[in-house]
């Protein structure tokens, strides 16, 4: 298989990657046949997966605009993935020139691409690190250089926590990150759930099995379990809701039924 110029030498291009599968769902070009094949297998069970990813991105952009409108000028996006149109830094820096953004991902393709996209942007950086090791993220040179933890930060965990198994203590990781942030900070989060998917759970379970085969289990959590991530935060209206319902730009009833899969919310610390 031909290795394209954009693929770092260190990566095994015969193994699918969650970040590149997500890129494929969004119509990106930074994915391999092995990723497309896994995506198509998952879509056999849930044909609306691309709609869910688009709803995630659209919510993320609205939440970043909201945070910027509330005076937040620092954004920490963990599990940021491969850059696609309408990234956090584009939205944040349009809404608030001078806003600072740090992207964090453990996928080498995502990191390499983010570095290329951010070339020359002094107010944005990228860290190769894992959400499961919050200490490494917080002590990274990029975070120390760009983010002032004494001032409010918007912490983005969009479509990432459902890849962290309970054994890896996702609640502990989120609490450790939250504890490091100044009062007035925000948590912006989306999470997969069987609730809202326009399919019986056993059918949606076929998609979950595909991710399990990739050694990247997709952990479906209930609304109640997802709400626990917001301990210590006051929920911003309208609370923890399906993605298209959170401060929509367009009528939610015009959305594809798949866009209502899972939950999105924004919390703010006092």
Mean pLDDT across 199-209: 95
For residue 18, give the nearest of 161, 169, 125 by alpha carbon: 161
Least confident of 59-68, 82-91, 218-227: 82-91
Domain ranges of the chain: 49-198+220-268
pLDDT of amino acid 84:
81
CB 31 within 8 A of CB 21: yes
Flag the least confident range among 54-58, 132-136, 185-189, 213-217: 213-217
Looking at the predicted structure, is the pLDDT value of residue 61 above 80?
yes
Listed residue (132, 133, 60) closest to 90, CA to CA = 60
pLDDT average, residue stretch 98-111: 94
pLDDT of 5-32, one tens digit each? 777 777 788 899 999 999 999 999 889 9
pLDDT at 187 over 70: yes
- Exposure of 29 by Cβ count < 10 A (0-12 exposed, 13-18 middle, 19+ buried)? exposed
**Paired tokens of 49:** 């997966």
Residue 241 pLDDT more than 80? yes
pLDDT at 92: 97
| DSSP secondary structure of the chain | ----TTS-TTS-TTS--HHHHHHHHTT-S---HHHHHHHHHHHHH-TTHHHHHHHHHHHHHHHHHHHHHTT--EEEEET--S--SS-HHHHHHHHSTT-EEEEEES-HHHHHHHHHHTTT-TTEEEEE--TT-HHHHHTSHHHHHH--TTS--EEEEES-GGGS-GGG-HHHHHHHHHHTSPTT-EEEEEE--STT-SS-HHHHHHHHHHHHHTT-------HHHHHGGGTT-EEPTT-SB-GGGSS-SS-GGGS-GGGGSSEEEEEE--
Of 107 and 104, the structure prediction assigns the larger pLDDT to: 104
* Other Cβ atoms closer than 10 A to 251: 8
Mean pLDDT within 103-120: 91
CA distance between the termini of the chain: 53
Beta-carbon contacts of 107 under 8 Å, excluding residues fewer than 6 positions away, are 17, 18, 19, 20, 81, 82
Please report the pLDDT score of residue 1 as a whole number. 65
Give Cα 200 to chain centroid, integer Å: 25
**Is pLDDT of 2 > 80?**
no
- Digit-coded pLDDT (tens) for 147-160: 999 999 999 999 99
Query: What's residue 23's pLDDT?
Result: 93
pLDDT over threshold 80, residue 264? yes
> The domain at 49-198+220-268 falls in which architecture?
3-Layer(aba) Sandwich (3.40)
Task: Please give the pLDDT value at position 10.
Answer: 77
Rounded to the nearest integer, the mean pLDDT of the chain is 95
Rounded CA gap, 56 and 199, in Å? 19
Q: pLDDT at residue 34 above 70?
A: yes
- The span from the CA of 180 to the CA of 31, in Å, is 35
């Amino acid at each position: 298989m031909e290795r394209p110029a954009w693929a770092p030498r260190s990566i095994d291009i015969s193994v699918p990657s969650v970040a590149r599968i997500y890129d494929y769902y969004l119509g990106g070009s930074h994915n391999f046949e092995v990723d497309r094949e896994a995506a198509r297998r998952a879509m056999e069970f849930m044909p609306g997966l691309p709609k869910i990813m688009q709803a995630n991105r659209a919510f993320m952009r609205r939440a970043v605009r909201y945070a910027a409108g509330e005076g937040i000028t620092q954004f920490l996006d963990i599990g940021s993935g491969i850059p696609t149109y309408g990234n956090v830094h584009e939205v944040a820096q349009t809404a608030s020139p001078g806003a600072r953004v740090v992207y964090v991902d453990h996928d080498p393709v995502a990191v390499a691409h983010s570095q290329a996209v951010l070339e020359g942007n002094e107010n944005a950086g990228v860290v190769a690190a894992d959400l499961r090791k919050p200490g490494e993220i917080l002590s990274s040179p990029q975070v120390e250089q760009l983010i002032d933890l004494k001032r409010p930060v918007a912490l983005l965990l969009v479509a990432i926590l459902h890849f962290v198994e309970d054994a890896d203590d996702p609640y502990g990781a989120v609490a450790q990150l939250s504890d490091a942030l100044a009062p007035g900070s925000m948590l912006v989060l989306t999470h997969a759930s069987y609730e809202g998917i326009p399919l019986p759970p056993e059918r949606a379970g076929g998609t979950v099995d595909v991710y399990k085969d990739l050694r990247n289990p997709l952990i479906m959590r209930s609304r109640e379990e997802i709400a626990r991530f917001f301990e210590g935060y006051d929920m911003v209206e309208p609370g923890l809701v399906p993605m298209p319902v959170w401060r929509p730009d367009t009528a939610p009833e015009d959305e594809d039924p798949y866009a209502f899969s899972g939950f999105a919310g924004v919390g703010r610390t006092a």
